[in-house]
Amino acid sequence: MNTHTFLLIIHIIAGSFCLLAGAINFSVKKEKGYHTRIGEWYHIGYFLVFLTSVGMAIINWSESAYLFYIAIFSYGLALFGYLARKISWRGWLSMHIGGMAGSYIGIITAVLVVNGAAIPLINQIPSLLLWFMPTIIGTPIIFMVGKRYSTHTK
């Protein structure tokens, strides 16, 4: 097994884990304990997604350079959301929600773009739209959730 294949396997496992962990964490009560533990694991998984993306991009730069930039941006959102809570910056909650949900949009986008052609019904959507659809749908949701939680904490 070559290095790229090894990285791809780890990438798929970590990315699948992040999809599951993110979905679970969006649906559980937001308090220390279960939500926090899942969030820690989500961050570790996303870090692995980031590392493997960068590694695969470097190995196959001419065809996969875009992975490098997407990985930096998406993991940057995850790290921002994670650190906002860990450090408890002023206004940390909206930064945490935006960063974590934004990183989740990134991973959903990656799955759709890479696998969309093989998914029935999704394969009928133009590929350019697959790049933007999660952001178009997810951004208003982030704002609504952020607003809901910001009014609860005041």
Dump pLDDT digits (tens) for 100-148: 999 999 999 999 988 888 999 999 999 899 999 999 999 998 888 877 7
CB 147 within 8 A of CB 91: no
pTM given for the model: 0.89
Q: pLDDT grade, residue 150 (50/70/90)?
A: low
Q: How far apart are CA 27 and CA 90, in angstroms?
A: 25
Q: How far apart are CA 87 and CA 97, in angstroms?
A: 14
The two tokens of residue 58 are 């470097």
The two tokens of residue 40 are 């820690």
Map tokens 């949900």 to a residue.
Answer: 101
